[in-house]
């Protein structure tokens, strides 16, 4: 590890205009901070091109004078920092954290209140945050709004979802910034809980492309004890302004100095691949908070889930319209004969997981209360420890353990967060007692306490509380419907997954846009891994439920590719075991593909069109390649120059057949093997909604490549 710290301190008083420039370590990205007539402003450029035009910084406060103007500069510090650190799990074994820093301390002349701003400039972008030191004139304050501006240099193409306090489960819209307002009414689609806030408002991470070829991404990092940030667009001047999620009273943050905001991030490059390779979000988070991380490990799992999502099975044990925990005697009720989380079925899933090398089986609907769990604003909805009559906790625990498999817990809160916190210690202890080391938590529906939003400060603090409480019991968290991630997995690596976007489940609710998975790595995944739940081999949902006419808009080959393109240390094979049994040749890739990596390369990338990743398995010489394609027929052309020179490998290519198409022929795939070296090249057709996956294994014995074509 290399660290270089250079500090320069200047005291400047009473200057009406003051400016300071800062360059990134390679000199290509430039920041200018200016205190202009008492107003803090900044602008950003990349290779001489404008990225962020002059933009103002500050806060509106409740029942107090705003922190927007009237400042004087009281201190400046500059520093350089360079280190290499290793994540507990990730896309790279080693991550470099290299930046130049500018710290400015501002004092509001009339009120004597101090607001500091810290800028960190990387080769691929910028992070900045506000810091409020302990001070005599401001300890407690309430944020009315944060006024961080991001003034765009043009009417960029953007990949956006509507601003919403409760959900990110939307398809992305691709449009010019100036078109967002007019398209908002069609972009807002139904959800179990949603609160769109304004017509020109969008969510982060926001991906854009300028006419002069810059790729720009806006997001935030290290969201702790603060409200989630959205972006409100002034579409006449192309200026985004931060828009924080309010609480039930309309307040946007309760602060006590010393404190700080999350980092606001701008990733920029003239190559789309650099956005996907950026580690700004992780680097702006603190190092791992745990001394012991041996209990944290990547998980490849299957689950009793997809049949319920499609409507083939049921979470509920009975058809009763109303139940009360502790009062309803389920032993006296009549089963509905569709309950999926039963002993026989779970054992079958455990057998399948054991046979094919999976780590865990997720079981949803195992616990009492699912009959009236949703839409009733019900406080005492689950207790997280009481199983239905047909789910024998101890028997299944022991059976799974005998097979070398763990069961994965499911905690659906139905938005009743007060109830979850009431039961949390008991629920986590129940997990520890029964050999569960990971939990999928859910927050479907409106939040209780009523009036709070999924993305407000109160809920952000709850997610953090649940994460740190789980660590006390050595439990890993996969939170669904929670606030979108902001790189906290560096500090708290037991956060091994999130949903926080429109995932595979929506393929059974009418379908996702065909190009959805060519956008998500540029947006949602900028903040951390997603539990996307790929691996669907039966695209026709009516085969499971005749009343559901949805189609999964993908080919089988692309479903394989998603294990590489949609990074996560938590990967699910989401389809039914009996479906995989009909395609065991393709299923082999899911069995083989790694979920933890030493190295990652982006071979091709264009948001909304295609992405091709190559990843090297942790502690192995094997590589895996994945390509996800949009709705057009495209030809992917890649080089294998990421391989070690002088060595030979066997590449198994799982690709779309010539007549494959997500809609008309989604199951048409072909599997071919080649001998490849670092000098090999591949030209591969990708069908509409298609793609390909490749496993690359080093040749050990010469006889292994006899009769295999060289590429």
**162 within 8 A of 202, measured Cβ to Cβ:** yes
User: pLDDT tens digit string along 234-245?
Assistant: 999 999 999 999
Kindly state the tokens that stand for 106: 């501002």
Class of residue 386 by CB neighbours under 10 A (exposed 0-12, middle 13-18, buried 19+):
middle
Q: What is the pLDDT of residues 113-140, one digit of tens each?
A: 999 999 999 999 999 999 999 999 999 9
Across all residues in the chain, what is the average pLDDT? 96
Residue 18 pLDDT grade (very low, low, confident, very high; cuts 50, 70, 90): confident
Predicted TM-score (pTM) of the model is 0.96
Check the CA dihedral 679-685-689-695 and report its sign.
negative
Tokens representing 250? 């309309």
- Beta-carbon contacts of 700 under 8 Å, excluding residues fewer than 6 positions away, are none
Q: Among the options 20, 232, 307, 505, which is catalytic?
A: 505
Separation of first and last alpha carbons in the chain: 40
Average pLDDT over residues 46-66: 98
CA-based nearest residue to 361, from 404, 394, 392, 390? 404
CA distance 244 to 427: 32
- Per-residue model confidence (pLDDT) at position 266: 98
CA distance 643 to 675: 12
Identify which of 481, 474, 370, 394 has the alpha carbon closest to the alpha carbon of residue 428: 474
Determine the 3-state secondary structure of 394 from DSSP: helix
Closest to 92 measured CA to CA, from 377, 353, 332, 283: 283
Q: In degrees rounded to 5, what are phi and psi of residue 586? A: -75, -35
Q: Are strands 49-56 and 39-46 parallel, antiparallel or unpaired?
A: antiparallel
CA nearest 704: which of 661, 652, 640, 662?
652
Q: What are the residues whose beta carbons fall under 8 Å from the beta carbon of 556, sequence distance 6 or more?
A: 537, 583, 586, 666, 667, 669
Spatial separation of the C-alpha atoms in residues 655 and 437, rounded to whole Å: 36
Pairwise CA distance, residues 676 & 696, whole Å = 8
Element (H, E) at 25: none
Phi, psi of 437 (to 5 degrees): -120, 5
Q: What is the pLDDT of residue 8?
A: 38
pLDDT average, residue stretch 373-394 = 97
- With b meaning 16 or more CB within 10 Å and e meaning fewer, what string describes 101-118? bbbbbbbbeeeebbbbbb
CB atoms within 10 A of CB 364: 22
Burial (CB < 10 A; 0-12, 13-18, 19+), residue 236, is: exposed
Q: Is the pLDDT of residue 3 over 90?
A: no
Mind listing the pLDDT tens digit for each residue in 500-544? 999 999 999 999 999 999 999 999 999 999 999 999 999 999 999
Of 381, 371, 375, which Cα lies nearest the Cα of 445?
375
Instruction: Measure CA 285 to chain center.
Output: 15
Cβ-proximal residues to 177 (8 Å cutoff; 6+ apart), any chain: 152, 155, 156, 158, 208, 233, 235, 238
d(CA 7, CA 430): 51
| Residue pLDDT, tens place only, 537-572 | 999 999 999 999 999 999 999 999 999 999 999 999
Rounded to whole angstroms, the Cα distance separating 326 from 328 reads 6
Spatial distance between the Cα atoms of 498 and 442, rounded to a whole number of angstroms: 10
**What 3 state SS string does 199-229 have?**
CCEEECCEEEECCCCCEEEEEEECCCCCCCE
Residue 204: both structure tokens together: 């982060």
Whole-number Å distance between alpha carbons of 139 and 134 = 7
Please say if 54 is a catalytic residue.
no
Query: How far is the C-alpha of 519 from the C-alpha of 610, rounded, in Å?
Result: 8
**Rounded Cα–Cα distance for residues 67 and 61 (Å):** 7
| Mean pLDDT calculated for residue range 362-387 | 97
Residue 9 has pLDDT above 70, yes or no: no
Residue that the structure tokens 């997954």 belong to: 497
Q: What are 37's two structure tokens?
A: 């007539």
Q: Residue holding tokens 């976007």?
A: 501
Distances (CA, A) of 545 to 28, 74, 342, 550: 55, 67, 19, 10
- pLDDT for 198 equals 81
Q: With cut-offs at 50, 70 and 90, classify the pLDDT of residue 440.
A: very high
Compute the half-sphere exposure of residue 46: CA atoms within 13 Å on the CB side of its CA: 21
Band the pLDDT of 199: cuts 50, 70, 90: confident
Query: Can you tell me whether residue 234 is helix, strand or coil?
Result: strand
Q: What is the DSSP letter of 294?
A: T
Across the chain, which distance is largest between two alpha carbons, in Å?
Answer: 82
């Amino acid at each position: 590890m290399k660290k270089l710290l250079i500090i320069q301190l200047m005291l400047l008083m009473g200057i009406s205009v003051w400016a300071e420039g800062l360059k990134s370590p390679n000199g290509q990205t430039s920041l200018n901070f200016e205190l202009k007539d008492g107003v803090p402003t900044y602008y950003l450029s990349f290779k001489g091109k404008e990225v962020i035009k002059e933009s103002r910084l500050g806060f509106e406060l409740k029942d107090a004078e705003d922190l927007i103007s009237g400042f004087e500069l009281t201190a400046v510090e500059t520093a350089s920092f360079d280190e290499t650190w290793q994540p507990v799990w990730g896309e790279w074994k080693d991550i470099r954290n290299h930046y130049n820093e500018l710290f400015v301390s501002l004092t509001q002349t009339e009120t004597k209140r101090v607001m500091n701003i810290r800028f960190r400039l990387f080769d691929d972008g910028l992070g900045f945050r506000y810091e409020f030191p302990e001070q005599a004139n401001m300890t407690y304050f309430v944020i009315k709004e944060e006024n961080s501006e991001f003034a765009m240099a043009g009417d960029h193409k953007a990949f956006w979802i509507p601003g919403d306090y409760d959900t990110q489960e939307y398809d992305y819209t691709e449009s010019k910034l100036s078109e967002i307002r007019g398209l908002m009414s069609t972009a807002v689609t139904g959800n179990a809980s949603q609160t769109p806030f304004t017509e020109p408002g969008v969510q982060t991470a926001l991906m854009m492309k300028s006419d002069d070829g810059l790729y720009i991404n806006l997001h935030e990092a290290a969201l702790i004890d603060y409200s989630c940030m959205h972006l409100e667009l002034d579409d006449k001047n192309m200026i985004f302004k931060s828009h924080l999620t309010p609480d039930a009273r309309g307040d946007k943050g309760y602060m006590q100095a010393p404190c700080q905001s999350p980092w606001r991030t701008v990733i920029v490059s003239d190559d789309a691949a650099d956005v996907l390779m950026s580690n700004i979000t992780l680097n702006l988070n603190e190092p791992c908070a745990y001394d012991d991380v041996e209990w944290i490990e990547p998980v490849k799992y299957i689950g009793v889930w997809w049949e319920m999502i499609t409507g083939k099975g049921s979470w509920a044990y009975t058809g009763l319209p109303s139940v009360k925990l502790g009062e309803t005697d389920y032993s006296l009720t009549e089963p509905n004969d569709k309950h999926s989380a039963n002993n026989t079925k779970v054992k079958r899933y455990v057998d399948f997981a054991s046979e094919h090398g999976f780590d865990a089986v997720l079981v949803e609907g195992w616990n009492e209360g699912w009959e009236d769990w949703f839409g009733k604003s019900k406080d005492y909805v689950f207790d997280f420890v009481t199983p239905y009559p047909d789910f024998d906790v101890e028997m299944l625990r022991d059976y799974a353990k005998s097979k070398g498999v763990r069961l994965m817990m499911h905690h659906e809160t139905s938005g009743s967060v007060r109830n979850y916190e009431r039961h949390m210690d008991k629920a986590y202890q129940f997990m520890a007692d029964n050999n569960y080391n990971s939990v999928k938590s859910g927050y479907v529906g409106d939040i209780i306490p009523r009036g709070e939003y999924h993305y407000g400060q109160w809920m952000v603090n709850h997610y953090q509380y649940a994460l740190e409480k789980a660590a006390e019991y050595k439990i890993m968290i996969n939170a669904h419907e929670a606030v979108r991630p902001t790189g906290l997995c560096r500090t708290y690596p037991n956060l091994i997954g999130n949903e926080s976007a429109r995932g595979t489940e929506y393929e059974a609710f009418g379908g996702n846009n065909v190009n959805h998975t060519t956008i998500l790595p540029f947006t949602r995944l900028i903040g951390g891994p997603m539990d996307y739940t790929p691996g669907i081999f039966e695209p026709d949902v009516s085969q499971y439920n005749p009343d559901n006419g949805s189609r999964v808009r993908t080919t089988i080959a692309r479903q394989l590719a998603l294990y590489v393109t949609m990074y996560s240390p938590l990967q699910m094979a989401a389809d039914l075991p009996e479906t995989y049994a009909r395609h065991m040749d393709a299923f082999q890739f899911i069995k083989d593909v790694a979920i933890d990596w030493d190295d990652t390369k982006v071979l091709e990338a264009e948001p909304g069109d295609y992405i091709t990743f190559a990843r090297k398995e942790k502690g192995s010489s094997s590589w895996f390649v994945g390509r996800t394609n949009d709705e057009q027929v495209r030809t992917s052309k890649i080089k294998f120059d990421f391989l070690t020179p002088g060595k030979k490998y066997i590449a198994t290519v799982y690709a779309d057949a010539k007549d494959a198409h997500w809609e008309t022929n989604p199951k048409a795939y072909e599997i071919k093997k080649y001998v490849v070296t670092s000098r090999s090249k591949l030209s591969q057709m990708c069908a509409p909604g298609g793609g390909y996956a490749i496993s690359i294994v080093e040749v050990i014995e010469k006889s292994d490549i006899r009769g295999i074509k060289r590429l």
